[in-house]
Chains A and B, each alone.
Chain A
Amino acid sequence: MNVKKQYSNHRMYLVKVFCAVITLHLCSFTHTFAHKVSIFAYVEGDVIHSQSYFPDGRTCKNAQIEVFDLKGKRLLKGATNMDGEFSFRIPIQDSLKLVLTAGMAHKAEYEISKEEISPSAVKTALEKITQGQKAPLSPASATVKTELSPDHMRDIIDKALEKKLKPVMQKLTRIEAKNTSINNIMGGIGYILGLMGIVMYFKKNRKDR
């Protein structure tokens, strides 16, 4: 009887500990995460905007950002502002690599491809046409040409698109940065149990032999 009571006491204790851990865990979701940092960047005109986040969406303040070209040469260096943002003029018309260092061994990279910076395939085609037109233009005919050139139109469309896309880009960053979901946690525990099963299976075989 006494043993039984003691046993149930222990079980109650275990249940309590379990509940406490779960509560603590759920509370912690609102807190800050610092294992990992993410950096994300997009082009707007001739400026590159970058944003740096911790996985919970908190921004990295005053973190160092370096910009490299593909050969690993450092082009420029700066620090994020209080909102985790850092913007700079495009230094070269080539692929760039942004490296974020947030201290205590936290580091992240983001690459901006050449296509994002320099005109895309369509753009270059357009440019060729306009250049072809421009070359023989005399000063007199230039003044006549007041209607929208493909160049102008492209700029206007680009600007409008960038403005519209900005919130989407920012949201994407946040989604990309956050990946601790309950599914991942449960999945991880599932993997561990599965691994245990595999190891036990093989160990059992060896034991039987």
Chain B
Amino acid sequence: MHISEGVLSAQVLIAGGAVAVGGLATGLKRLEYERMPQVALLSSAFFVASLIHIPIGPSSVHLMLNGLVGLLLGWAAFPAIFVGLTLQALLFQFGGITTLGINTANVALPAVTGYYLFNRTCLSSSTYLALGAAFVCGFLAILLSALLIAVSLMTTGEHFIEAAWTIVLAHIPIMFIEGVLTFFLVGFLRKAKPEILGSLYERKKTI
């Protein structure tokens, strides 16, 4: 899921960078002091997750956890994912410094989408509904990321449909794995620490 340096054109890199900066600003502004350790924890999880590989066929794909990060953090997913990606670029040379913006945008936008679509449902009193939403959130975040990457690659002359198919097909197993992972984690959090799932809005209302 990391686009290497020198693949994309300058326009795409700048556009991605602009989206990332916007997301980062929003995320940092909305970041509550009390939520900082949680952001750091999920950032670490994201940082390590992409080292976990599932070899399928000729290629292999790695965990991303962006659905989970988004579901729990909302806009704060942007700083969490940005920090994770920066460290991956510096320490493991995954992706690269120039592609940091576009990679952050590709991974964090689906995360924030997941938050808006599913965060409330995960707090629903119906366990089935909540866990179903968690699964779909984990699943959908990867699917959206794959599609965004295909869009970014389109500008390099690759056919969108072709690129999208290759990337989406390669990530289908990860979609299911992340769906199940998010399913179990939300199930656990609902029992043990439901306040972590509570969005900013919800928590302010209860206080």
Residues of A that sit less than 8 Å from B by CB? 10, 13-14, 17, 24-25, 28, 31-37, 55, 61, 103-109, 179-180, 184-185, 187-189, 191-193, 195-196, 199-200, 203-204, 207
Contact = CB atoms under 8 A, between A and B. Distances in A.
Q: Secondary structure at chain A's binding surface: helix, strand, loop or mixed?
A: helix
A203 B32 CA distance: 9
A200 B33 contact: yes
B51 A185 contact: yes
Contacts of B166: 103-104
B52 A24 contact: yes
B50 interface: yes
Contact of A192 (B3, B31, B44, B55): B44
A189 B192 contact: no
Interface of B: 1-7, 31, 33, 36-37, 39-40, 43-44, 47-48, 50-55, 58-62, 83-84, 87-88, 91-95, 149, 153, 166-167, 170, 188, 191-192
Contacts of A192: 40, 43-44, 47, 83-84, 87
B147 to A, nearest CB: 14
Contact of A185 (B33, B48, B93): B48
Nearest to A33: B53
Nearest to B42: A192
B44 A35 contact: no
Given A13-B192, A189-B47, A104 B170 contact: yes
Contacts of B192: 10, 13-14
A192 B50 CA distance: 16
21 contacts: A25-B48, A33-B62, A34-B53, A34-B61, A35-B92, A36-B92, A104-B59, A106-B4, A179-B92, A187-B91, A188-B91, A189-B48, A191-B87, A192-B40, A192-B83, A193-B40, A196-B39, A199-B31, A203-B31, A203-B36, A207-B33
A55 B94 CA distance: 10
Contacts of B191: 10
B6 A107 contact: yes
Given A35-B94, A103-B166, A185-B91, 7 more contacts: A28-B52, A31-B53, A33-B62, A34-B62, A35-B95, A188-B44, A200-B36
B188 A13 contact: yes
B91 A105 contact: no
A195 B7 contact: no
A138 B91 CA distance: 62
Contacts of B2: 35-36, 105
A61 B2 CA distance: 20
Contacts of B88: 35, 188
A34 B91 contact: no
Most B C-beta atoms less than 10 A away, residue of A32, A34, A107, A192: A192
Contacts of A34: 53, 59-62
Contacts of A185: 47-48, 51, 91
B51 A180 contact: yes
B44 A189 contact: yes
Given A10-B192, A31-B60, A185-B48, A196 B40 contact: yes
A24 B43 CA distance: 19
B40 A25 contact: no
Contact of A195 (B40, B52, B60): B40
A34 B51 CA distance: 10
A7 to B, nearest CB: 9
A196 to B, nearest CB: 4
Contact of A107 (B7, B36, B60): B7
